[in-house]
Structure 1
């Protein structure tokens, strides 16, 4: 397998929709420990403590839940233009906007399933106010003294009516490489994990059993340690946060995880994948069979039914 093109540096931020903005903001600030960094209209901008940019997450009031935008930072202005050219030469369409604080021009397009993908280069580096300044100059913000204290936005898992063409888009148009996938007995690809860097994955596509387009499975925030996830589970039961499943360990990608729902209905994963990197430039795509997946997670825990049926926005 060829190494990644390197034109996309990392996931920058995502925008989630929520029918209960105030409760969602409390979840992300009080439970997860994100910091509010501005408001505009119906949107609130939040950041993790180890993010160098203006925001990691935008919460926008809406009649329903789901994901509106996933923004990816390019590795240079030239890289951004190359990706735009690649998208449009393949028949894709997009538009240029400047509608986010701390971010320059964004090229907004969609994957084949209809998820909004935005590419950008220009970004304002965060300057912590006095009460949030860290003790170490190579850290953008002091660690929070409350909540889980998640470190960074880690990955996005999209639901898709057909996984393969979406994975192809992320690979061919944006330069990612797939690292693992699930292939059913019919030959159909049911899920695929892709990376832009030496992380084991940044973007995931999972088959939407409803056949719908453009929905979200979950977004994930990384913690420093596995113990942080155990603490997150304790905090969840103390504060009334709904735990869907975990703590446990995935077989695919070996991520230690906890899944919870935020008040707007979106699934949030707390994960600790920090020790697993894909350093080999010729990493072979790991394919899991249908029978292998029936064995459940790494230590035998069966995948619960809602993991395959819950997505946002809900399907009536």
Structure 2
């Protein structure tokens, strides 16, 4: 049993790349209901209504879709310093950088697969302008009242050449804990779900069947209710947003979900995991077998092929690579 270190408080924000910046901005503001709160060059800063920090998402114009960096907030200045030393000792540090708007000094590093991660402590709490001031003082911003109205950035699912090696890094260097995982008949760990606090998962690593490194499977935004997921499906249908799969319920982590592609090509999950918390201090990792995952989702629905082949940035070889992989039916990347 691995105990939580509690040096990382939560996911702060994600920088997402898009070759369709205007259409992607429309998706996140009009379809999901995020609020624009600033811009700098090719980047736009967006926030969910229940985010206490300046922004949840940086949307940056780029020639390909994908993820540039994921920022994590430390639980204190001392915790930040401890994790920076641990990352340096692991030989994966990139150095200090000035923080984005609303954030102080930030240390950049990468995981074994090459995904860039950043840690910071200093953070400016959001103060809503008069037109966005909420009726309840314990809510940072008024409910948007349009689109899906997502509540928060929930989790990130990275594709990796070796999920287990990256999960071990997040566990041993950042102090997370593996809550659930998939083990193939060969003994290989093909996916791991990790958390930093009471949420059942914050970061996920899934084997990339193309063999590539540094790619994104999806980022996820949490909704208030399961009914919001159903309403989101109707909103996406009416507005021509591609629905990949769902609404369904995952077996792993029990998340009710809908997967769509934003116009830039990145997969976005709308999820409702709000009722599932990990409260046990001695939580024992749940391991799913290849046979159990072959049954499909919680309600026996098979996982569609694109869920295993689509990632960003795209790789043409990914479509053909999945056909040659053993034990791939019914996998689950919550």
After TM superposition, the score normalised by the length of structure 1 is 0.99
Q: Which residue of 2 aligns with 1:24?
A: 24
**What is the CA–CA distance in structure 2 between the aligned matches of 1:41 and 1:2, rounded to whole Å?**
43
**What is the CA–CA distance in structure 2 between the aligned matches of 1:42 and 1:93, rounded to whole Å?**
26
**What is the CA–CA distance in structure 1 between the aligned matches of 2:27 and 2:299, rounded to whole Å?**
30
**Would the aligned equivalents of 1:104 and 1:122 in 2 still touch at CA under 8 Å?**
yes
Q: Which residue of 1 aligns with 2:327?
A: none
Q: Which residue of 1 aligns with 2:90?
A: 90
Q: Number of paired residues?
A: 316
**Would the aligned equivalents of 1:229 and 1:247 in 2 still touch at CA under 8 Å?**
yes
Q: Which residue of 2 aligns with 1:306?
A: 306
**What is the CA–CA distance in structure 2 between the aligned matches of 1:93 and 1:37, rounded to whole Å?**
30
Unaligned runs of 5+ in 1: none
Q: Which residue of 1 aligns with 2:191?
A: 191
**Superposed CA RMSD:** 0.6
The yes-or-no answer on 1:6 pairing with 2:6 is yes
Q: Which residue of 1 aligns with 2:320?
A: none
Query: What are the residue-to-residue correspondences of 1:110-121 with 2, within 5 Å?
Result: 110-121=110-121
Runs of 4+ in 1 over 4 A off after TM superposition: none
**Would the aligned equivalents of 1:180 and 1:194 in 2 still touch at CA under 8 Å?**
yes
Q: Which residue of 2 aligns with 1:164?
A: 164
Q: Shift of residue 94 of structure 1? A: 2.3
Query: What are the residue-to-residue correspondences of 1:35-114 with 2, within 5 Å?
Result: 35-114=35-114
Unaligned runs of 5+ in 2: 317-334
**What is the CA–CA distance in structure 2 between the aligned matches of 1:88 and 1:47, rounded to whole Å?**
31
After TM superposition, the score normalised by the length of structure 2 is 0.94
Q: Which residue of 2 aligns with 1:276?
A: 276
Q: Shift of residue 281 of structure 1? A: 0.6
Q: Which residue of 2 aligns with 1:285?
A: 285
Q: Shift of residue 145 of structure 1? A: 1.0
CA deviations over 1:68-104 (Å, ceiling 9, x no partner): 0000000000000000111112233221001411110
Q: Which residue of 2 aligns with 1:245?
A: 245
**What is the CA–CA distance in structure 1 between the aligned matches of 2:88 and 2:96, rounded to whole Å?**
13
